[in-house]
Structure formats: C-alpha cells, structure tokens
Structure 1
Amino acid sequence: MYSGFMSTPERLIESTRELLWERGYVGTSPKAIQQHAGAGQGSMYHHFAGKPDLALAAIRRTAEEMRATAEAVLGGDGPAYARIESYLLRERDVLRGCPVGRLTMDPDVIASDELRAPVTETLDWLRDRIAGIVEEGRAQGEFTDALVPQDIASTVVATVQGGYVLARSSGSPAAFDTAVRGLLALLAAARTSAARS
C-alpha cells in the first residue's frame, strides 16, 4: 500500500489519518492501524506513546494539509468574491466528508482538549482567513458595507461542513452543490453594482 521509501512512523501516521477519516477515533484500533501500515506492535509503540499520541500526529497532519489546500485557493490573486467562489467550488471528495470536520462528531476527540485543539485551530483559522478576504472586498468596494466579515466567514464554513452532511445523508454530491450555489447567489447579491459590472 505504501512506498518502500516511506518510514515506519510516516506509514503509521498516514494509516491513522485514513482510518480516522473512515472510522473515527473509536473505530480506529491500534491493531487496525498496524495492519493498515504494515507495522508491528513494537514498531508502533517504539515511535508513539500510544493511540492518542499517534492520533494527535495524524490530526495535526490532516489539519495542516487542509489549511494548505484552502490557502492555495484563498491566497490567490483576484477579487474577493472570485477567491471565495474558487474555495467553494474546488474539487472535493464530498461523499467522504471533511477529514477535519468529521472529527467534531467524534465524542472521544471532542472530550480531549489535546485532540480537539488542531480541529478547533483549523476551523478558526479558516473563518479568520475568509473573514479577512470579505473585509478586503468591502475595503475595495466589491462588497456592500452591510456584510459582516466574521458572519459571512462562519456562513461559508457552515455551508461547506453542512453540505458534506447533506451529501452523505442523500448519497449524492448534488446536495453539497446545491448548498454552495445558494450561498454564492447570496454573496453575489451582496456585491456592489460596480463590482458586478
């Protein structure tokens, strides 16, 4: 499954990331991680103190990747609306859900300050990043002053996370796409007449 060039700790982290996304924390046993990674119990406990330590490394890696993916779109050039639109329309594996957002549904992750921290930090970062873009759009006269940047940013994040839930519930990415189209229509209506022309 993994390249022969990948170290044992890397295989363990990557396996844990995959299993957390598929099964959640409770459903990800040390044995399943070892089997998925092709690593023995001794190797796992040589590199990590236990499942919580390995899960934390995996969650941090997933959170960093999510930030990098979002920044690649949000940090581009262009008007604020276009950058937010690109973020909302970027390709996603909608039916799998968000590997970070899904962790908020895991009671063991939420109960642990340490495991929850990278999840909270990532979602906070995303809201702040989008709010900054909305503020840029207001400052440049692209959006009306009626838009409250933090409110819009929370709405964007909630639409994406809720869109995943709707898509998984219906078994179709169409539900996600509908939510995104609705939000983009609302954002487009909040653009100034100068920005629309």
Structure 2
Amino acid sequence: MTTSERLVEATRELLWERGYVGTSPKAIQQRAGAGQGSMYHHFAGKPDLALAAIRRTAEEMRAAAERVLAGESTAYARVEAYLRRERDVLRGCPVGRLTMDPDVMADDALRAPVDETLDWLRDRLAGILREGVASGEFDAALGPERTAAAVVACVQGGYVLARASGSAAMFEAAVDGLLALLAERRTA
C-alpha cells in the first residue's frame, strides 16, 4: 500500500472512531506510519485528506449495497438481502455516523459524498420497490420512495439502537419489524 493509500485508510478509520475534530493530523500520521512531510506531499491538508477518505468510504458503502441489491431475485428478496447483509452493527455506519458530525455537515465539500451516497441508496431501493410494484409482487399502494426512505431509516436507526443497547439484537429486531411490514404489502 502506498503512503497516500495508508493515509486515506488511517483517516477513514479515525473518522469512524473519533469524528472529524478528533481526527488530528498527528493521529493520522501515527496510524498510517507516515511523516508530516509525506502527508502534506500527497494532500493539501486535513480537509483534503478527509474528503478523500469520506469519498472512499462512500464508494465502498455503495459497492457493498449494490452487491446485494443487484440480481435477478424478487424485489422483496433483494431488499431483505440488503437489510440482512453482514455489518459491524455495534460500530455503526461509517457514512451515517458522519451525519452526526457537525464539522462534516457544516462543510459543503465534506457533506456532499454523504448526501450523494444516502440519495443513491434511497433511489436504488425505490427503483427495486417500483419493480416489485410493476411486477405485481407488491400492491400499488406501497409507495416505493417513502418505503425506500423507511428502509434507509431502519438501517441507520437500527445502528443507533444497537449501539445504545450494546446489542446487535436491537438492529435485528428493527430489520425483522420492517420486513414484517413489507411482507404485508406483498401480493404474491
């Protein structure tokens, strides 16, 4: 791994663990095993490095979601696969946690990949749910856009419940509840 890659990976981990303010250039350098000169050779400063890290995290989240959302199975099965995919629930969502970081949300450039990723996820899920309505799998009253927003909210809220209780069971309970509600809208 190159020095710039180590810096980005270290920043990603630190942002997830500590947030933007808690991610100091010194901590990044120590975690990456890189000197100050190397950091500033590859990146203009902490905001530039944080942006690269947030973009990488967002790309990986989209790729992980797409792996389970793509395919030929039913709309319900694809949404269920997304909800039940393996996650480090007690650690939380590396993208979702950034929405609670006031420094990230106050910076348009840092916030943009977060917004884009959550928008992409809602749109992708809504498209799958629209397919389910069009094929007759779900009843026409499902409301794909609002249901997609509920799926994303369930995942993000499930992380919060699990972290607060110290138990992944709370995340699983939220997923089970949403899937039960979604199953009630199935026509087939």
Mapped to 1, the partners of 2:36 and 2:74 lie a distance apart of 52
Normalised to the residue count of structure 1, the TM-score between the two structures is 0.95
Where do 4+ consecutive residues of structure 1 move more than 4 Å?
none
Alpha-carbon deviation of 1:49?
0.3
Counterpart Cα distance in 2 of 1:24 and 1:75: 32
Whole-Å separation in 2 of the counterparts to 1:76 and 1:162: 26
1:165 maps onto 2:160 in alignment? yes
The aligned counterpart of 2:119 is: 124
For structure 1, list consecutive stretches of 5 or more residues without a partner in the other structure: 1-5
1:185 aligns to what?
A: 180
Take 1:16 and 1:76, find their aligned partners in 2: how far apart are those partners?
Answer: 33
Matching of residue 153 in structure 1 with residue 148 in structure 2? yes
Q: Kindly state the Cα deviation for residue 76 of structure 1 after the two structures are TM-superposed.
A: 1.7
Q: What fraction of aligned residue pairs are identical, expressed as a percent? A: 79
Cα deviation, 1:105-131, whole Å, max 9, x if unaligned, reads: 000000000000000000000000000
- Separation in 1, partners of 2:74, 2:110: 36
Q: TM-score, normalised by structure 2?
A: 1.00
Deviation at 1:82, TM superposition (A): 0.2
Secondary structure, counterpart of 2:72 in structure 1: coil
Match of 1:37 in 2: 32
- State the partner residue of 1:3: none
- Give the equivalent residue in structure 1 for 2:68: 73
Aligned match for 2:51, one of 42, 56, 77: 56
Q: List gaps (5 residues or longer) in structure 2.
A: none
Deviation at 1:94, TM superposition (A): 0.1
1:112 pairs with 2:107: yes
**Residue aligning to 1:89:** 84
Determine whether 1:101 maps to 2:96: yes
User: Which string of whole-angstrom CA distances, capped at 9 and with x for unpartnered residues, describes residues 47-105 of structure 1?
Assistant: 00000000000000000000000000001220000000000001100000000000000
Partner SS for 1:146: helix
Task: Measure, in 2, the Cα distance between the counterparts of 1:48 and 1:71.
Answer: 30
Please tell me whether residue 142 in structure 1 is matched to residue 137 in structure 2.
Answer: yes
Report the counterpart of residue 10 of structure 1 in structure 2: 5
Q: In structure 1, the residue corresponding to 2:140 is in which secondary structure?
A: coil
User: What is the count of residue pairs matched by the alignment?
Assistant: 188
Paired with 1:46 and 1:115, the residues of 2 have a C-alpha distance of: 21
